[in-house]
Amino acid sequence: MSTTAPQADAPVEGATWWAARVREGDMSAVEVIERHLERIRERDAAARAFLFVDEKGALERAAAVDRARADGAALGPLAGVPVALKDLFVTKSMPTTAGSRILEGYVPPYDGHAALALAGAGGVIVGKVTLDEFGMGSAGEHSSFAVAENPWSADHRVGGSSSGSAAAVAHGLVPAALGTDTGGSVRWPASCTNLVGLKPTYGRISRHGMIAFASSLDQAGPMARTVEDVATMLSILAGPDRHDATSLDTPVEDYVASCREPVRGRTVGVVRRAIDDDRVHPDVRASVQRALAALADAGVALVDVELPSMDLWVPTYYVICCAEAASNLARYDGMRYGRRVAGADLAETIERTRTEGFGPEVQRRILVGTFVLRKDSYDAYYGAAVRARARISAELDRALATCDALALPVSPEPAIPKAREADDPVTAYLRDVFTVAANLAGLPALSVPAGFATSDGATLPVGLQLVGRRLGEGPLLSLAGAVERILGAGRRRPGDKAP
């Protein structure tokens, strides 16, 4: 680990940087992959990011990239770049567990959209990374297999549920990873590890082959060290897909160009109530304010916006995500995929499979979801949540009619300390207070490195959250690009001295 301050003009060794090495012939794709596989062998025992590494397959795919280059074929934007997938994306040649014992041993018969699109752009999927079971959690602790470590602090969690995706990039094992975000699971671990993480507009990226948690909220989201890398991945993944009827058939913009566009004349709506909330750590507040000041210096107009429905966000999200989870997870019965624990008859087999296969957080959500969907509680809970969701969505759209993006913290506090008192579920759920609204409204949102917080003696990264208009990924990436260039916070690596 380096102990010098990061150089303001040195290139960041991100996904596009590695792609340029291969394209320009500085290194072969096989060399790039070998180097990263070596890092995985050396560091993953400490990072605990990977659940499965496909060394042989990755080297074969890299060799194919090198052959294509030798033949003079056009190389994709990620040619030769190692990528890790959250183990919620199905992959034909690799096991897919969703972080759950119930899918242990399952090897899907097909590649989903993410695996196909990334490979189509020359990306080399090196393996599958850990997560909270089915994406349910915020600290990575609800994985049945591996709890990823945060390279910024041995005493803090990496953030979840895309904990392996964040750890794999933050530990330098791969330059880019794909996560999923149902209520913040890309933005929050990105914020905890000084990465850029984007949750696109609902439907911008096909969900084909992405194991469902809450179908009306789930989106895949790229995580990487730079805004340009995230934009590059979005360009590859976005677009209509005949396998997902909710994928949007709207043109895919040049997102890489967007992240370099000037921001002068843009308007950002400042969600004062979130920033000034008593629960917000003073260094989180200061980082967000510094990022906003930087945008103002770059010519962005800041306006205050009111979002009176904020108190409804967490309860609405948890009723809806549990209802959808209860329904989506009904398919895991031991008959079709993964694990089966035999009982005396069919009913007992299903019961034992689900009791032993699902961890406690997943069982809790299935129970809550089943309760809120019961005939006699449906209207008071699920129906009420659907109505609240419409109100929240209308309110965000109204606020975004006056600005290009909303600015607020990702979460009230920096990374979660390991040594905290065991959380009751509600305390854990309340950490999602600032992220879930974007999912409820289907809007794009990202986290971009904005500063650092000192907490329990550790220096922990803090992201700024920006929420954009429906399909407003372009302006969102422009604003994030400006924050990145002006603040330079994302350049700092674990162990670096403050610049």
Question: Which residues are designated catalytic?
Answer: 86, 161, 185
165 near ligand GLN (CB under 6 A): no
Residue 302 phi, psi dihedral angles, 5° rounding: -105, 130
Q: Write out the DSSP string of 258-315.
A: HTTS--TT-EEEE-HHHHT-TTS-HHHHHHHHHHHHHHHHTT-EEEE---TTHHHHHH
**Residue carrying the six token digits 């989180």:** 284
**Cβ-based nearer residue to ligand GLN, 137 or 475:** 137
- Total residues contacting ligand GLN by CB under 6 A comes to 14
185 near ligand GLN (CB under 6 A): yes
Q: Which part of the chain contacts ligand GLN (CB under 6 A), choosing from 99-107, 130-138, 149-157, 243-251?
A: 130-138
183 near ligand GLN (CB under 6 A): yes
Please, are residues 377 and 371 in contact by the beta-carbon 8 Å criterion?
Answer: yes
211 near ligand GLN (CB under 6 A): no
Residues paired with 43 in a beta bridge: none
Q: How far is the CB of 180 from ligand GLN (least distance, A)?
A: 6
136 near ligand GLN (CB under 6 A): yes
Residues paired with 461 in a beta bridge: 452
**Cβ-based nearer residue to ligand GLN, 220 or 460:** 220
432 near ligand GLN (CB under 6 A): yes
As a whole number of angstroms, the distance between CA 289 and CA 407 comes to: 10
Please, are residues 421 and 434 in contact by the beta-carbon 8 Å criterion?
Answer: no
As a whole number of angstroms, the distance between CA 431 and CA 488 comes to: 26
Q: How far is the CB of 89 from ligand GLN (least distance, A)?
A: 13
Nearest alpha carbon to residue 269 among 463, 400, 442, 446: 400
141 near ligand GLN (CB under 6 A): no
For helices 29-47 and 55-70, the axis angle rounded to 10 degrees is 160
**Cβ-based nearer residue to ligand GLN, 180 or 232:** 180
Q: Which two tokens stand for residue 447?
A: 């986290």
CA distances from 253 to 17, 106, 152, 344 (A): 22, 36, 35, 56
Please, what is the Cα angle at 235 between 27 and 462, to 5 degrees?
Answer: 85
Residue 454 phi, psi dihedral angles, 5° rounding: -100, 120
Q: How far is the CB of 107 from ligand GLN (least distance, A)?
A: 23
Q: Which part of the chain contacts ligand GLN (CB under 6 A), choosing from 43-51, 177-185, 243-251, 387-395?
A: 177-185
163 near ligand GLN (CB under 6 A): no
Helix (H, G, I), strand (E, B) or coil at 284: helix
Q: How far is the CB of 312 from ligand GLN (least distance, A)?
A: 16
Q: Which part of the chain contacts ligand GLN (CB under 6 A), choosing from 17-25, 178-186, 251-259, 413-421?
A: 178-186
Binding mask 383-422 for ligand GLN (x = CB under 6 A): ----------------------------------------
As a whole number of angstroms, the distance between CA 397 and CA 296 comes to: 23
Chain centre to alpha carbon of residue 78: 19
161 near ligand GLN (CB under 6 A): yes
Nearest alpha carbon to residue 49 among 131, 154, 123, 118: 131
Q: How far is the CB of 137 from ligand GLN (least distance, A)?
A: 5
Q: Which part of the chain contacts ligand GLN (CB under 6 A), choosing from 20-28, 150-158, 176-184, 406-414?
A: 176-184
Residue with the closest Cβ to ligand GLN?
Answer: 185
- 295 to 354, contacts with ligand GLN by CB under 6 A? 321
Helix (H, G, I), strand (E, B) or coil at 154: coil
Please, are residues 406 and 305 in contact by the beta-carbon 8 Å criterion?
Answer: yes
164 near ligand GLN (CB under 6 A): no
181 near ligand GLN (CB under 6 A): yes
Q: Which two tokens stand for residue 40?
A: 């995985």
Out of 182, 194, 232, 465, the residue judged to bind ligand GLN by CB under 6 A: 182
210 near ligand GLN (CB under 6 A): no
Give contact residues for ligand GLN (rule: CB under 6 A). Answer: 135-138, 161, 180-185, 213, 321, 432
